[in-house]
Amino acid sequence: MIVTVTYNPAVDQTLQFDEPMDADAILRATDARFNAGGKGINVARYLTGLDRPCVATGIVGGFTGEFISDELEDDGIETDFVQVDGPTRLNTTAIAAGEEYKLNHDSAPVEPESIDELVETVQSLGPERVLVSGSLPPGVSTADVDRIARAGDWDTVVDMGGTYLTQLESEYALCKPNREELAEATGTDVSTVDGCARAADAFRDEGFDRVLASMGADGAVLATGSELLYAEALDVDVVDTVGAGDSLLSGAVAAWDEGADDRTALRTGVAVSSRLVQAAGTDVNSFDGVEAARDRVTVRRLDE
């Protein structure tokens, strides 16, 4: 069983506009979506959609936290959240004339007692894998991420910003930076696929068994220690990139959880991500067709 931990969840509001954004204009959205969000919650949603046993936990509060709990329950996603008084943040993505605008909100500070309760919650669930994802709210530090990695005999996966990744001190089974986060963490040039692959391979020495780096339209690379693998992105019509990296990670972890090898895991991650970006928002009603998409993903070694 897999547990996802989201220290800083959100309600994701996605607004669609036909006209470009203008500071002096009042725009009327042609579509509005509200989803329980945060990287770990997205991963729990996608893992559940891929039929992998999963529990989403984290810290939620207020009317927005209640919305998250209710929506995940309605969607059949098992949860075990720690409740706090302060409201969970609201994040907005506005898509206007093909351009994306992101406006994110900070959650209320988290007290040490809530962090203790969250660690105890993960321990009580007894998972085989734990995924800690996303930003950290006030009151939470990377030492609290390390606490989860050390709190039990499970593989811990982390998907966080580059500065956070450099501050972690425990050992991790996998980290999943995007290209910008990998550049921030390593201080190297990742503008090319080869540069990104070399940076991912070198970053393994910072305490990660594997590094899976997403590169948007350029695909993804996976450094395993024995292989340096590259998968090209599928040619699809991209509508919305929100959650693309989370779906890549979900597909790879789901494949590993089923006993797949690294090449299959990478291909599965790219296939799942290709399905997500073809629709607005972070919700995917069905992953039918993922296997066919996976068959179209090409993977090659870069270290031969």
Helices (H), 111-190: 112-125, 142-150, 162-167, 179-186
Burial call 109-137: b when 16+ CB within 10 Å, e when fewer:
ebeeebbeebbebbeebebebbbbbbbbb
This prediction has a pTM of: 0.88
Is pLDDT above 90 for 303? no
Residue of 108 and 209 predicted with greater confidence: 209
Catalytic residue positions?
246
What pLDDT band is residue 270 in, cutting at 50, 70 and 90?
A: very high
Rounded Cα–Cα distance for residues 246 and 248 (Å): 5
Alpha helices in 193-261 (DSSP H): 193-203, 244-257
Q: What is the pLDDT of residue 281?
A: 57
All domains of the chain in start order, with CATH:
2-301 (3.40.1190.20)
Q: CA 260: distance to chain centroid?
A: 20
Q: Which of 82-96, 118-132, 154-168, 234-248 has the lowest mean pLDDT?
A: 234-248
Strand partners, 102: 93
Distance CA 56, CA 78 (A): 6
Bridge partners (DSSP) of residue 228 are 223
What is the structure's pLDDT at 284? 62
pLDDT in tens, 141-167: 999 999 999 999 999 999 999 999 999
Tell me the pLDDT tens digit for each residue of 26-71: 888 898 888 888 899 999 999 999 999 999 999 999 999 999 999 9
Is residue 110 over pLDDT 80?
A: yes
pLDDT at 27: 87
Residue range 203-209: mean pLDDT, rounded:
95
